[in-house]
């Protein structure tokens, strides 16, 4: 059975390991802990018999901003990411915003397939190893 539920404090360590296995840059490894108690920030996990992915997002009034979403490698491209997006869409919201590296074509395709539209570019938003990388701003609107 596939479940999408809120992450509990005692799952922090597992989540940190999952983040490390999915992302080169572990933006949240240090910070994740502090997010557990912050009201508008939500952390959900998707699990079968084990945790296979997670999403971190802000939920303020009728808007969501996705900060980070990841599915572990062997489970990618099997619709799990889409299940997470669909569950977020069921919140009582009007818009979902996010930013993604212009170089992350897999993720961009994933969001476009899930109905997001390109709304702009943030120049030099991410630190690359040699130079800065632009971010694509995407929006899903009901
Ligand atoms: C991006 C991510 C969350 C998508 O979740 P997912 O469960 O793999 O995606 P789904 O199976 O729900 O959706 C599949 C669609 O996403 C895109 N996609 C996902 N993985 C892909 C891959 N390896 N190559 C090309 N397209 C890919 C395609 O559009 C695909 O549709 P298709 O199979 O019909 O071509 C997941 O692949 C992931 O964690 N990637 C690494 C981390 C990352 O880049 N996160 C996003 C940062 S903002």
Give the per-residue SS3 of 87-114.
Answer: HHHCCCCCEEEEEEECCCHHHHHHHHHC
Choice from 79, 81, 96 to test ligand 1 binding pocket (greatest atom count within 8 A of CB) = 81
Q: What is the pLDDT of residue 26?
A: 66
C-beta of residue 23 within 8 angstroms of C-beta of residue 70: yes
CATH 3.40.630.30 residue ranges of the chain are 1-93
Q: What is the pLDDT of residue 73?
A: 95
CATH number listed for the domain at residues 1-93: 3.40.630.30
And the tokens for 136? 């694509």
Ligand 1 centroid distance, CA of 119 (Å):
20
- The whole-model pTM stands at 0.94
14 Cβ below 6 A of ligand 1: no
Nearest CA to ligand 1 atom 10: 79
For 99-141, the pLDDT digits (tens) are 999 999 999 999 999 999 999 999 998 887 788 999 999 999 9
For 29-77, the pLDDT digits (tens) are 666 666 665 678 899 999 999 999 999 999 999 999 999 999 999 999 9
């Amino acid at each position: 059975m596939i479940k999408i539920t809120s992450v509990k404090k005692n799952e922090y360590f597992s989540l940190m390991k999952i983040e490390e296995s999915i992302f080169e840059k572990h933006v949240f490894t240090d910070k994740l802990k502090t997010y557990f108690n912050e009201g508008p920030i939500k952390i959900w996990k998707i699990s079968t018999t084990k945790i296979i992915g997670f999403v971190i997002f802000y939920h303020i009034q009728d808007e969501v901003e996705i900060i980070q979403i990841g599915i572990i490698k062997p489970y990618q491209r099997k619709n799990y990411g889409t299940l997470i997006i669909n569950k977020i869409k069921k919140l009582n919201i009007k818009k979902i915003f996010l930013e993604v590296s212009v170089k992350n074509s897999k993720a961009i395709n994933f969001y476009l397939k899930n109905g997001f539209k390109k709304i702009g570019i943030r120049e030099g938003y991410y630190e690359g190893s040699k130079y800065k990388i632009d971010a694509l701003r995407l929006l899903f609107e009901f």
